[in-house]
Amino acid sequence: MHRTPTLLLTLFAVAFSTAAFSQNVSLTRADFIPAPEARVTGAPVFAKDKQGNFCQAVSTHPAGGTTVGTWLVAKYLSSGMIRWTMPWPYPVRPRPDLDVTAIALDPAGNVIVAGTVNGNGADTEAVVTKWDPTGAVMWNIQLGLGQSLTAPTCMTTDTLGNIYIGGTVRNSPVADSADFLLLRIDNNGSLVWSRTYNGSAGRLDQVTAIATDASGNVYITGESKGEIKFTSRFGTEIIPEGLDYETIKYDGSGQVLWSNRYYTNLTDIPSAITLDAAGNAYVTGSANGVATTVCYNGQTGTGQWVAISASAQNNTSIALDPSGNVVTAGYAINSGNLNYIISKYTPTGSLSWSATAAAGPYAPFTYGPNVALAIDKGSFIYISGESIPLGAASVQNLQFLTQRYAPTGQSEWSQYYSYGSGYANIPSWVTTVEPAVPSPFRYPTVFVGGYAGLAGGNSELASLTYTQSVIRLNLSASVDSVSAKTASPDDGSTAALANYPNPFHGTTTIAYSLTHQSHVTLQLFDASGKTIATLLNDDEPAGLHTFPFTANRLIAGIYAYRIVATSPQGNLTTTKQMIIQ
């Protein structure tokens, strides 16, 4: 049977400009909620649920230094829009020494806020309030478990909606004598149990961070005054240790499963804790003035590794990326300048990289520098903290600084925000919300929150929304046209060009299929159209081919790769994109 020769389809013959993409970030929303009592006091606290909804709360007091206070609570949708705001207590008058110290969102979307209030006489008691997803108050409780102090410092919930609060309880007026406090409250507001821990020195013990695992166990860490007792020929002797990291794991009934102490014999204060899927605990903070991270085995509590920073003085945040790598964010103050330090460790504690972000002159503030941290599903890292422009070393010039880092440590973008002249703009949290429809060209939305206040004037609770978008760029190379050769309708040079995985970190495989023996060139371009490398320039037989490509020396981003196959049957070019994380 005779087949009529046919010219190759002009689909492959015309010249065209290929495309690459780069990323852009822009501020798309800024919300400010005035403080009901004029001034925000202390750092706002923050929580987010699995649906991407989030909330923040802060203490507010009237100008003039009076001690009466009101809470300001706000809940946001995953889009960043405010769902509701609530001053508390309302409509009751402000209450003496009412402060916010912790917040949580339970699986049902209810908001729980904990803090302190002046109880009977000079006593400080814990107060906990729960709102439903629409902002209606569900219950409010007040607890005084010590003779002089019951103070929450951190809070979380489990999968059933039970509430766990860590803090401090003191049974004497002596400031340096306090114990760890752990409370379990059910979702109806009833106290199920309370546990205390008195450290080896019987002195100052205070919970600073808390976490729960999927099995309903709860972990607390905090600063604990330590000492070593031993018997010598002179009798019982005591060696003071200073403050130590103390970490304890409880089951859901309040039974201690293990405890462990890390110390340098000086001042060691943990600030944050996170858990992996196996229940291993990662604790970070400052030990003897150096940022220090400790990993504990989740089953036994045995220390697995210790990572001591070469540059940071204190870590304030910790998180795990999707691969189980440990990321910390902290700071160092040197010669009057504030620097943020971001470090990434392997799951076994080896340092992968460390990056430094200059935040300008350091202006001491009420609660000190805080570096907030978030990691998205692509392992990109986001931090936020206060920053002062050079030559403007004043609290009234503080501005929001937000940055994104690639998984390999390169800084990708920085954003600064100031509410206005004379305002102190201080962020306390950062988070991301993934796009509803996953796509290599859809990026998470970034949210940053804190407060903005005038010197000696009114303050506002702030939230910023940053949108990360894709810009289409033209590559400078054009595609060769097909020569005027004849071929059968099913003839061609190449098909099904793709790389997998994509996006990728490290190594990907480029696959392509040749119908005929061809001379093949495979080239890589950056977003500006510049040729990065010629990966292949050789004759290849017909069939399926794979080419492993390792991108260890390339920064994260979007690249284009182009294959040109030349054979007696014609020339054909195909271009695709790859995303390096």
- Residue 395 burial class via C-beta count within 10 angstroms: exposed 0-12, middle 13-18, buried 19 and up: middle
Q: What is the 3-state secondary structure (H, E, C) of 343-409?
A: EEECCCCCEEEEEEEEEEECCCCCCCCCCEEEECCCCCEEEEEEECCCCCCCHHHCEEEEEEECCCC
Name the token pair of 109.
């979307």
Q: Has residue 504 been placed in a domain? A: yes
Domain check: are 521 and 573 in the same one? yes
Domain check: are 14 and 139 in the same one? no
Domain check: are 86 and 189 in the same one? yes
Contacts of 558 (CB under 8 A, 6+ apart): 20, 21, 22, 23, 470, 527, 577, 578, 579, 580
Regions of the chain with pLDDT less than 50? 1-22, 91, 93, 471-495
Domain check: are 16 and 80 in the same one? no
* Closest-CA residue to 56 (of 450, 343, 411, 398): 450
Q: Has residue 486 been placed in a domain? A: yes
Name the token pair of 487.
């071929």
Contacts of 316 (CB under 8 A, 6+ apart): 271, 272, 329, 330, 331, 369, 370, 371, 372
pLDDT number for residue 41:
77
- Residue 485 burial class via C-beta count within 10 angstroms: exposed 0-12, middle 13-18, buried 19 and up: middle
How many residues does this entry show for the chain?
A: 581
Domain check: are 12 and 136 in the same one? no
Q: Which CATH number characterizes residue 518's domain?
A: 2.60.40.2550
Q: Which residue matches tokens 């010669």?
A: 335
Q: Has residue 152 been placed in a domain? A: yes
* Closest-CA residue to 54 (of 432, 434, 519): 432
Q: Are 180 and 153 in contact (CB under 8 A)?
A: no
Q: Which CATH number characterizes residue 87's domain?
A: 2.130.10.10
Q: Are 406 and 555 in contact (CB under 8 A)?
A: yes
First to last CA, the chain: 53
Domain check: are 515 and 550 in the same one? yes
DSSP category for residue 239: E
* Closest-CA residue to 129 (of 167, 185, 45, 77): 185
- Residue 479 burial class via C-beta count within 10 angstroms: exposed 0-12, middle 13-18, buried 19 and up: buried
Q: Has residue 167 been placed in a domain? A: yes
Q: Has residue 223 been placed in a domain? A: no
Q: Are 145 and 131 in contact (CB under 8 A)?
A: no
Q: Are 562 and 477 in contact (CB under 8 A)?
A: yes
Q: Has residue 45 been placed in a domain? A: yes
Of 197, 231, 263, the residue that ends a domain is: 197
What span, in angstroms and rounded, lies between the C-alpha atoms of 240 and 227? Answer: 4
Exposure string of 258-296, with b = 16+ CB inside 10 Å and e = fewer, is bbbbbbbeeebbbbbbbbeeebbbbbbbbbeebbbbbbb
Q: Are 199 and 214 in contact (CB under 8 A)?
A: no
Domain check: are 17 and 118 in the same one? no
Q: Are 206 and 180 in contact (CB under 8 A)?
A: yes
Domain check: are 13 and 67 in the same one? no
What span, in angstroms and rounded, lies between the C-alpha atoms of 331 and 8? Answer: 62
Domain check: are 48 and 166 in the same one? yes
What span, in angstroms and rounded, lies between the C-alpha atoms of 298 and 133? Answer: 33
Q: Are 155 and 165 in contact (CB under 8 A)?
A: yes
Q: Which residue matches tokens 């004043």?
A: 394
DSSP category for residue 394: S
* Closest-CA residue to 446 (of 354, 501, 506, 378): 378
Measured over the CA atoms of residue 526, residue 528, residue 383 and residue 366, the dihedral's sign is positive
When computed from its CA atoms, the radius of gyration of the chain, rounded to whole angstroms, is 29
Three-state DSSP class for residue 505 = coil
Domain check: are 118 and 12 in the same one? no
Q: Has residue 72 been placed in a domain? A: yes
CB atoms within 10 A of CB 14: 9
Domain check: are 14 and 63 in the same one? no
Give the residue numbers spanning the domain of 523. Answer: 8-21+474-580
Three-state DSSP class for residue 53 = coil
* Closest-CA residue to 112 (of 167, 78, 152, 150): 152
Name the token pair of 453.
């206040």
Q: How many domains does the chain have?
A: 2
* Closest-CA residue to 581 (of 432, 381, 436, 435): 381
What span, in angstroms and rounded, lies between the C-alpha atoms of 435 and 417? Answer: 24
* Closest-CA residue to 74 (of 36, 108, 42, 23): 36
Q: Has residue 549 been placed in a domain? A: yes
Domain check: are 120 and 46 in the same one? yes
